[in-house]
Structure 1
Amino acid sequence: MRLRPALIGNPDYTRLWFGQAVSSVGDAVFSTTLVLWVATVLAEGRSWGPQAVSGVVLATSAAVFFVGPLAGVFVDRWDKRRTMLGTEVLRGGLVAALTAVSFLPVEDLPAGVWLALIYLTVLVLNAAGQFFTPARFAVIADMITGDADRARAAGIAQATAQTAWIVGPPLAAPLLFTVGLQWALLFNALSYLVSYLAIRTVDVRPGKTAASSPTKAERPGLVKEFRAGVGFFVRSRFLVALLLLTVIGQLGVGALSTLNVFFATGNLHASAQLYGYLGMATGIGGIAGALVAGRVVEWIGAKRTTWIGLLVAGVLLVLYSRQTGFPGAVTVLFLFIVPITMLNTAMAPLLLAATPQEFRGRVVAVFYPVTRLSSMLTAVLAGWLAGSGLRDFAGSVGGVRFGPIDTIFAVSGLVVVLAGVYARFALPGPAAAEPIADDRPAEAAPKGAP
C-alpha cells in the first residue's frame, strides 16, 4: 500500500494542517498553564480564586459572542490568506508581550493587574480567533471539493483538536512547575510563528478565496452586510435545520460535561480518581469518530451520517444513563462519542454545500457562536436541574430505579433520538442543499433549500 505524501492528496492542506496542529497544542498548553498559574500561584489561598479562574472562561466567551458574529462580515470582505496571517502575527505578538511581562516577579505587580493582563490577552486572542476560523473555513472550502473529502478534512481537524487537548494539558503542568510560566507562554508564542510560516507556504492565488467579494464602492455597509448574512441564514430552512440539530446534539455533551463526575461517583460508585478515565474515553472516542467520518460520509453520504449518528448517539446516551459499573460505562461512553463526532464532522460538507462563497464567513460566524452558547446554556441547565429542580427526584418503572442525574442523561438521549428522526425528514438531499448560482446580487440570491 503506497503512502500518500499529503493529507487528502493536497500538499497545501497538509501544510495548513501542520501549522494548526502545532498551534492547537500551543493553545492547549497556554490555556491550561494560565488556569494552573492563577489557581496555584496568583490566587493561592485566596477566597476569590475560583472567580479569578472563571474570568478566563468569561473572557473567552465574551470574544465568541460579541466579536464572532461581526467578524464574519469582515472575513467575507477581506483576503482570506492575509486575514489568517494577520491574526497569527497579532496573537503571537500578544503572547510574546505577556511572556516578557511574566519574567517580572509576581509580587512586583498587584494581583488585579496580573488578572487584567491575562483577561485582556485571552479576550484579544479569542477575538482574533473569530476572524481566523471563518477565514480558514473559506480557504479549506476552496482547497477541498466533494462531500467525502470535505468531511475527511473536518474529521482530521476535529481529531487534531482532540489530540491537542490530550497532549497539551499534560505538558502544561511540567512546563509551569519545572521551568516556569515564562517558558510555557513562550511555547505558545512560537506555535503561532509555526502556524504563520505554514500559512505563508500555502498556495492561495490572489483573489482565489475572495473572487466574489464586492469592491469597496459596492459594499452596502457593515450593518447591511451583517443583516444580509443573518437574513440569508434565517431564510435558509436547511441551515436553520442544521443549526437546530447541532444545538440539540449539544444536549448530551453539555449534560455530560457538567454532571459526569457526579454520575461516576454516585451511579457508578467509582472513586473520583477514576474520573479521568471517562475523559480519556471521550477524547479517544472523539479521535476515532473524526478519523472514520470521511469514510462513512463517502459510503452513505453526509445526510445519512447526520441523522443515523443522532439516532445511534441518543440510544447510546440512554444506555449510558443505565450503567452501574465503571468498565461498562467507559465502553458505552466511548461508543457514544464516536457517532457524536461523526455527525459533527458530516455537517461540515452540508454547511458548505448550502452556503455560497460570498456568505461563508458570515454563516460560520453565526453558526459557531450559537452552537457555543447552546453548549453553555445546556451545561447550566443540567447543573440547575441536578442541583435544584430534580435534586430529590427518585422513581421506579418496571423495577428500574431512576435518580436525578441518570434521568437527565436519559431524557437528553431521547431528545437526541427525536432529533435524528427530525433530521431524517428535514434535511434534503445533496442536490437540494447545493446553492443555485445565478446572476442576481447576493442579497437576492436563493436563500437555501425550499
Structure 2
Amino acid sequence: MSTTELPVTRIDSKLRKNRDWLKIWTGGTALTLGDQIFATSLTLWVGAVLSDGESWGPTAMSGVLLAQAIPPILISVIAGTFVDRWNKRHVMIVASAISALTCAALLVAVSLAIPTAPLLATVCCAVFLLAAAQQFFNPANISTLYDVVPVNQRTEAVGKLLASTQVILMIGPPLAAPLLFGLGMQGSIVVDLASFALACTLAWRLRVKLSLSESASRGNLATDFLNALRFIRRMKILRLSLGTFFFFSLCASSTTAVSYFYITERLHCSPAAVGAFGTVLGIGAMVGSYGARKKIAQDRSHHAYAAGLVLFGVLSGLYSKMESISIGGVVYFLWGMAYGIIAYSLEAIAATSVPQRLIGRVSSLIAPMQGIAAVIGLLVGSYFAHQGVAGASIGFSALSVDPLRGVYRLVCLITVAAGCYAALRFRDTSLHHAEVEHAGEAEVEGHSIAMDTVGTKDVEWNIRKPFLL
C-alpha cells in the first residue's frame, strides 16, 4: 500500500538529544506521577475517610475500580482504530485537555458539602471519564513515540519509559498519604490536573509532523479492526503472550480489590502506611525491569515473561502466609520484581513484533482484554474482600480459608499454571526470531503495508483468509 508521508523533522541519532522524545517522556512521566498520587489518594479517601468502619466500604472501593475498568472494554477498540486514522498529536492534546477539565469539575464537587452517595457517584463518573480519555491518549502517545524514535532505538525508549514508570510507582504512593491527610482530596486532584495540563502543553509543542497512512484515511473501520485481529492471529508469540497476560491481569485486579484490607487487617498496618507498600512494590518493579533490560537478551524476552509469571505466582502464595509488616514487605518487594520482569518482557515482545501502523489498533485490542480481566478480577476480589471484612470463611470445614488470604493463593495457582503453559509453548527458541524476521509486509485491500519491525524481510502475507482465532 502506498503511503502519504508528511514532512518529518529530522530525528537526532542519540535518544537523549531527541527533543520530541524528551517531551513525550516528560509528559508521560508527569501523567504517571499524577495518576499514581490521585489513584492512591482516592483509595485511601474512599477506604479511610468516606467509608471508615462502614460495611459498604468494599462495595464503594469496587465501584470506583470498576468505573476505571469499564472504559477499556467499551471504548478502546473504537478509540484505537480512530487513533490510527487521526492526527496523533491532536488526539493527545484533546484527550489531556478533557482529562484536565474533568479533574477541575471533580475538584469543585469534592470541595462542596454534598452527601456521601451523590459524591461517590460523582467520583465514579469522573474516574470513568478519565479512563475513557486515557483510551485515546495512550495509543496516540505510543504511536507518536514510534514516529519520533528510530527503529533501532525503540526498545531502549520503551525501556526508559518503563523504568521511569517504576520510579514513579516508588515515589508516588508515599506522596499521596501526606498530601491527602494534609490538604485533603483536593490536593491530589490539583496535582493530577497539573499533570494533564503539562502533558497537553508538551503535546502542543511537539515539532514532528507525523506520517499518515493512506489506508487509515480512506479504509473503513471494520477492515482496519479485522486487519489488527489477523495480525495477532498470525503472530503466534504475540497471541500466546496476550492470552496468558489476560489471566495475569485478572489476578492482578483481584489483588487490587483486597490489597487495602489485607494490608490494614492482616498485616496490621495503619491506612497511612498503605502508600509505603506502594513504594516497596515500585522499587521491586524498577529493580526487576532494570535487571531484565540489562541481563536478558531481546530474543529471550518471551522466556523471561514465562519465568516472571511463575515467580509472581509463587510469591503470591508466599505473601498469603504473611503475618507481619516486616517480612510481608520483603515478599512484596520480590513480588514487585516479578511484576517488573513481566512488564518489561511483554513490552519488549510488543516493541519487536507490532509494526508502527498497527500500534493504535493492536493497543485497542489489548485494552478491552485487560478491561474484561479487570472487571472479573475486581468482582472476585470484591466478594473475597466482603467476606474477609465480615470475618467469614470460604470453603468447607477443614478446607476453609481466610478470604483475604485465599485471593492470593488463588492467584498463585492461576499465574503458575499460566507461566508453565507459556514456558511449554515457548520451548522452541527460534519461535521469536522466525516471527519477527518474517513479519515483513502485509497485504491489505490489494496494497502492501511495509511493517517496520526489527530485522524484517520482504515477505508478504495473504490475510484475506477468514479470520479464526
Q: Structure 1-normalised TM-score?
A: 0.77
State the one-letter code of the partner of 1:56.
V
1:273 counterpart = 2:270: yes
Distance 1:393 1:302, change over 3 A: farther
Displacement of 1:88 after TM fit?
A: 1.6
Work out the CA distance in 2 between the residues paired with 1:37 and 1:265: 14
Deviation at 1:361, TM superposition (A): 0.8
Other-structure match for 1:86:
94
Q: Which of 165, 169, 183 is the equivalent residue of 2:176?
A: 169
Q: Indicate the residue corresponding to 1:358 in structure 2.
A: 357
Report Cα offsets for 1:381-424 as digits up to 9, x if no partner: 356568488344535xxxxx987665654453344333333323
Please, which of 193, 196, 205 is the counterpart of residue 209 of structure 2? 205
Residue 195 (str. 1) matches residue 199 (str. 2): yes
* Residue 72 of structure 2 corresponds to residue 64 of structure 1: yes
Question: Partner letter of residue 145 of structure 1?
Answer: V
Query: Is the counterpart of residue 139 in structure 1 residue 144 in structure 2?
Result: yes
Give the match's secondary structure for 2:35: helix
Residues 271, 35 of structure 1: CA spacing in aligned structure 2 closer, same or farther, 3 A cutoff?
A: closer
Question: What are the ranges of 5 or more consecutive residues in structure 1 without an aligned counterpart?
Answer: 1-5, 396-400
- Tell me if 1:14 matches 2:17: no
What is the identity, as a one-letter code, of the residue corresponding to 2:376?
L
Q: Which amino acid aligns with 1:188?
A: D
Is the 8 Å Cα contact of residues 8 and 152 (structure 1) preserved in structure 2?
A: no
Equivalent pairs, count: 426
2:160 is aligned to 153
The equivalent position to 1:96 in structure 2, one of 97, 104, 122, is: 104
Q: Secondary structure at the match of 1:390?
A: coil
CA deviations 1:246-304 (Å, max 9, x no partner) are: 123346534543455676688xx742439735444323212322333321334773223
Please report how far the alpha carbon of residue 15 of structure 1 lies from its aligned counterpart in structure 2 after TM superposition: 2.5
Which whole-Å CA distance do the structure 2 matches of 1:335 and 1:404 have between them?
23
SS of equivalent to 1:394: helix
SS of residue in 2 equivalent to 1:204 = coil
Alpha-carbon contact 2:283-2:333 (below 8 Å) kept: yes
* Helix, strand or coil at the partner of 1:440: strand
In 1: Cα distance, 2:214 partner to 2:77 partner: 18
**Match of residue 23 from structure 1:** 31
In structure 2, runs of 5+ residues without a counterpart are: 1-13, 448-460
Give the 5 Å matches for 1:241-256: 241-250=240-249, 252-256=251-255
Q: How many Å apart are 1:367 and its aligned residue?
A: 0.8
What displacement does 1:91 show?
2.0
SS in 1 for 2:75: helix
Contact 1:307 1:420 in 2 (8 A): yes
Say if 1:423 and 1:116 are closer, same or farther in 2 by CA, change over 3 A: closer
Q: Does 1:121 align with 2:118?
A: no
Q: Distance in 2 between matches of 1:52 and 1:319?
A: 29
Root mean square deviation of aligned Cα: 4.1
TM-score when normalising by structure 2: 0.74
Q: Secondary structure at the match of 1:106?
A: coil
Structure 1 residues 191-247: Cα deviation after superposition (integer angstroms, max 9, x where no partner): 22211222234442332xx3x34264x312x33433443344345433321112212
* Structure 1 pair 248–157 and aligned structure 2 pair: CA distance change class (3 A): farther
Question: Are the aligned partners of 1:356 and 1:435 in contact in 2 as well (CA < 8 Å)?
Answer: no
Tell me, in whole angstroms, the C-alpha distance in 2 between the residues paired with 1:95 and 1:168.
19
SS in 2 for 1:271: coil
Query: Residue 50 of structure 2 contacts residue 116 of structure 2 at CA under 8 Å; is this kept in 1?
Result: yes
Contact 2:21 2:145 (C-alpha < 8 Å) held by counterparts: yes
Question: Secondary structure of 1:214's partner?
Answer: helix
How far, CA to CA, are the matches of 1:234 and 1:126 in structure 2? 28
Does residue 135 of structure 2 align to residue 130 of structure 1?
A: yes
- What is the one-letter code of the residue matched to 1:60? Q
Q: Is the 8 A contact 2:313 2:414 kept in 1?
A: yes
Query: Deviation digits for residues 10-45 of structure 1, max 9, x if unmatched?
Result: 443232222222223333444455666777888899
Aligned residue in 2 for 1:398:
none
For residues 193-342 of structure 1, the aligned pairs below 5 Å read: 193-207=197-211, 210=212, 212-214=213-215, 216=217, 218-220=218-220, 222-250=221-249, 252-259=251-258, 270-273=267-270, 276=274, 278-298=277-297, 301-323=300-322, 326-342=325-341
User: How far is 1:114 from its partner?
Assistant: 5.3
- Tell me the residue number matched to 2:7: none
Partner of 2:439: 436
Name the aligned partner's letter for residue 214 of structure 1: S
Aligned-partner Cα distance in 2 for 1:98–1:297: 44
How far off is 1:175 after superposition? 5.5
CA distance 1:176–1:48, shift in 2 (3 Å): farther
The CA distance in 2 between the partners of 1:114 and 1:329, in whole Å, is: 35
Relative to structure 1, the CA distance from residue 273 to residue 93 in structure 2 (aligned partners, 3 Å threshold; closer, same or farther) is closer
SS of match in other structure, 2:270: helix
Percent identity reads 23
CA distance in 2, matches of 1:406, 1:52: 21
